Chains A and B, each alone.
Chain A
Amino acid sequence: MQREAPVGPNLLATARDALLQEILPKLSGTDAFTARMIANAMAIAAREAVQDDDWVAAARTTMQRLTGATAAPDRALSAAIRTGAYDPGSKHHTEVAALLRDAARRRCAISVPRVLGKA
């Protein structure tokens, strides 16, 4: 047994198309602005629904190894960055830079893929 198709991402994409192609042309001013915001929110939610979350756990493992903090490694990493522990020339500078870039890429892929050259 399984969920009835179409599932979330397909429904969101189909509903978004209906909003943009059938409803938006009939709107103007504040209503058109709101409709565009709704379409944007649906697109973000659809992308989030299909993204593989493995990178979050992998980033956590890396941060734990770098900081030695098991409970809140992102907080420990932030604090260490603030004190200059990963400044240019330091042992782990390049690794932390790559970690931050990778996280930013995954976050942009959901929130604003245009930044990554994707529609």
Chain B
Amino acid sequence: MDEARRAKLKDWLRGATGAADLELGAMALLSGGAIQQNWALDVTLAGREEAWVLRTDNAATLAVSLPRTGEFALLRAAFAAGVTVPTPLYLCEDSGVLGAPFFIMRRVQGIAAGHRVVKSETLCGGRDAAVQALGRELARIHRITPPRADLAFLGAPPADACLAFVAEQRAALDRQALPRPVLEWGLRHLERTAPPPLPPVLNHNDFRTGNLMLAEAGVTAVLDWEFAAWGEPHADLGWFCAKCWRFGSAYEAGGIGAREAFYAGYAAEAGHAVDAARVTWWELAAHIRWAVIAIDQAARHLSGKETSLELALTGHIVPELEWEILNMTGVPHAA
């Protein structure tokens, strides 16, 4: 970030905090994802050192992700509902300061990287304690229900989240270059076996290992709220447990711990049991959703607009997802 922008940012922060003596220290880019940038920001405020994160949009933002203003509103709603999130502090909707809206949240410590989290025996007090705690976090998220004036940007909840999912994925497939018979096979299975609708709740929609920050003492943050939407609670449970998000680990709950412990944590906080059959339905849905996203990511590489080895290799995840989709729809292994 250049000096002119730093100066603008400092002025804006002085106004937002009301601290005329606020000083801006080191700034380091934490991650420059395809969708947004996160900057670690050290600030001196009323003589105290503060560790913050500044989150802003990249120029090329995915159409499906929420703008930072929406993400800030979600963080505030989650924080108020008792979900462990980085404390949301200030929102700047004026693109004149940094070129895009941004918000400030407190910096939290911990490990999120999936391949590290699934190998740890000690994070959050051990595997089962970790997934119990994560189950409780998810149940708190699901206490947020529509209608909510502060979350009006999420639109109206779907009348039937399961059938809405099938329709959305089919529409996404219809926008892609090639037909995908295995994904169609999975979607038809979902359509035939869809359970009846439940009252809508807030779905995080990317609640999985890799987006959950853990420390030895416990969960330190549920991150990445940009795909949140109204939906069916088991959608998040299925996304978390789906085999494609276990990072190669044998533990069924996010590669971290036992499924039963995760369900128990969820049920204790929610006050009702998890419907395991619905989670199974959403685990198949998770494989299809991830496959559709992976195909889109490879298409970005193939289009020539965003040449990237990582995007190119993401396309090669699709066959494994297809293999699992066939397993989950009862197709025998023998040809």
Contacts and interface: CB of A to CB of B under 8 A. Distances in A.
Interface of A: 34, 37-38, 40-41, 44, 72, 74-75, 77-79, 81-82, 84, 86-87, 96-98, 100-105, 107-108, 110-112, 115
Contact of A108 (B173, B184, B319): B319
A111 B320 contact: yes
Contacts of B320: 108, 111-112, 115
A102 B333 CA distance: 9
B181 A102 contact: no
Contacts of B309: 34, 37-38, 41
A91 B301 CA distance: 40
B312 interface: yes
A111 B188 contact: no
B21 to A, nearest CB: 37
Contact of A82 (B178, B187, B326, B331): B187
B180 interface: yes
Contact of A100 (B178, B187, B326, B333): B326
Given A34-B309, A104-B323, A105-B335, A78 B316 contact: no
Contacts of B319: 104, 107-108, 110-112, 115
A82 B181 CA distance: 9
B181 A100 contact: yes
B317 interface: yes
Given A37-B310, A108-B320, A100 B185 contact: yes
B244 to A, nearest CB: 11
Given A100-B331, A101-B332, A108-B319, A75 B179 contact: yes
- Among B173, B181, B322, B326, the most chain A Cβ lie within 10 Å of the Cβ of B181
Interface in B300-335: 309-310, 312-313, 316-320, 322-323, 326, 331-335
B170 interface: yes
Please give me the 7 A-B residue pairs with the lowest Cβ-Cβ distance, nearest first: A107-B319, A78-B179, A111-B316, A81-B184, A111-B319, A75-B179, A102-B335
A87 B333 contact: no
- Among A78, A110, A115, the most chain B Cβ lie within 10 Å of the Cβ of A78
18 contacts: A37-B310, A44-B313, A74-B181, A78-B180, A81-B181, A87-B192, A96-B185, A97-B332, A100-B331, A101-B331, A101-B335, A102-B335, A103-B182, A104-B323, A108-B323, A111-B317, A112-B316, A115-B319
Contacts of A100: 181-182, 185, 322, 326, 331
Contacts of A108: 319-320, 322-323
A8 B182 CA distance: 31
Contacts of B331: 97-98, 100-101
Contacts of A84: 188, 192
A61 to B, nearest CB: 15
Contacts of A79: 179
A108 B331 CA distance: 16
Contacts of A72: 179
- Among A38, A82, A86, A87, the most chain B Cβ lie within 10 Å of the Cβ of A82
Nearest to B188: A81
Contacts of B323: 104-105, 108, 115
B310 A81 contact: no
